[in-house]
Amino acid sequence: MSADSWKLTLPCTRAEADAVADDIGALAMLEPPPVLMVTEPDEDRPDDWELVTYFESKPSAKTIAMVAALAPSAAGTKPVLEHLPAADWVTMSQSGIEPVSAGRFYVHTSTNAGAVPAGAKAFLIEAGLAFGTGQHHTTSGCLEMLDGMRRRGEVYRSLLDLGTGTGLLAFAAMHLWPLARATASDIDPISIDVTRENALANAVPLGRGPGQLDLMVADGLEHRRLISRAPYELVIANILAGPLIEMSPQIAAAVDDGGTLILAGLLQTQADAVADAYRRQGMRLAGRIDRSDWPTLRMIKRRRVR
């Protein structure tokens, strides 16, 4: 419990929101670190987002400036700082978040579990320092895509969740293919710490064998274990359109012949450019799910003629 909690609100762009999801910079070194959340207040205005930061005590001007630096588009806009009544500030940061149903999956926090639908696989994912609670259309689109693949009888024995965030997509894929050798990576060490905690909370086994999740901090695919465990029959990359295009040669190379690549984190206006980048790497578009302005693409790597 905190007797002196504070909330700082700033407008931001979608690109800034995604960047915050990947790295909160020097704020992670504060003790205790604040909880940052990004929200899309109006789905009809997909570039107008909001950055909300919760502190256990009143932030200094320097700390406020650190938050403002994460949203350069808000330069000239005065941050809104609110003093909150005594409360559990992490629970407060999760207020208003609704559980998410996507395919057979039901994703909730500890404060909104509700009644799990019959036959659903529930995951406890707290809102906090890492991106990917199931709330955003990119994450729920990936969950729906994975569910559909399993319902069609597809089987995968090795998988990679690239830019894992909270670990949710890796957990979901492991539930669908429990014997697969699973890998999850993120450039942000905090995300890997959060994924490890979430794995414990959801009884997801960690390790390097079949049916276990191997975690690592990595910049893209630049990690010896990521390279040694390739190629993967399934790769999930819910990141940003720019990095997806830039890394298309490396990501496509990590997919096994005939394997599947799920791409998300892009806008409708970016989908053709992303798909074209992977077509140039020998992949074809095999499926698409659209949630609001956020598509999820399923690419298949063409088999080479030997």
Whether 5 contacts 56, CB under 8 Å: yes
Indicate the helix (H) or strand (E) that contains 138: helix 137-151
User: Is 186 assigned a ligand-binding role in the annotation?
Assistant: yes
User: Is 114 assigned a ligand-binding role in the annotation?
Assistant: no
Structure tokens that stand for 264 in this block: 């998300």
User: Is 214 assigned a ligand-binding role in the annotation?
Assistant: no
Q: What gap in Å lies between CA 197 and CA 204, rounded to an integer? A: 10
Strands across the sheet with 121-124, in order? 100-102, 105-108, 121-124
The vertex-197 CA angle with 140 and 194, nearest 5°, equals: 60
Structure tokens that stand for 11 in this block: 């407008």
Whether 251 contacts 237, CB under 8 Å: yes
Structure tokens that stand for 7 in this block: 């909330």
User: Is 139 assigned a ligand-binding role in the annotation?
Assistant: yes
Q: What gap in Å lies between CA 276 and CA 169, rounded to an integer? A: 24
Torsion sign across C-alpha atoms 22, 24, 25, 30: negative
Q: What gap in Å lies between CA 123 and CA 106, rounded to an integer? A: 6
Q: Which residues are annotated as a binding site?
A: 139, 163, 186, 238
Which residues participate in the annotated binding site for S-adenosyl-L-methionine?
A: 139, 163, 186, 238
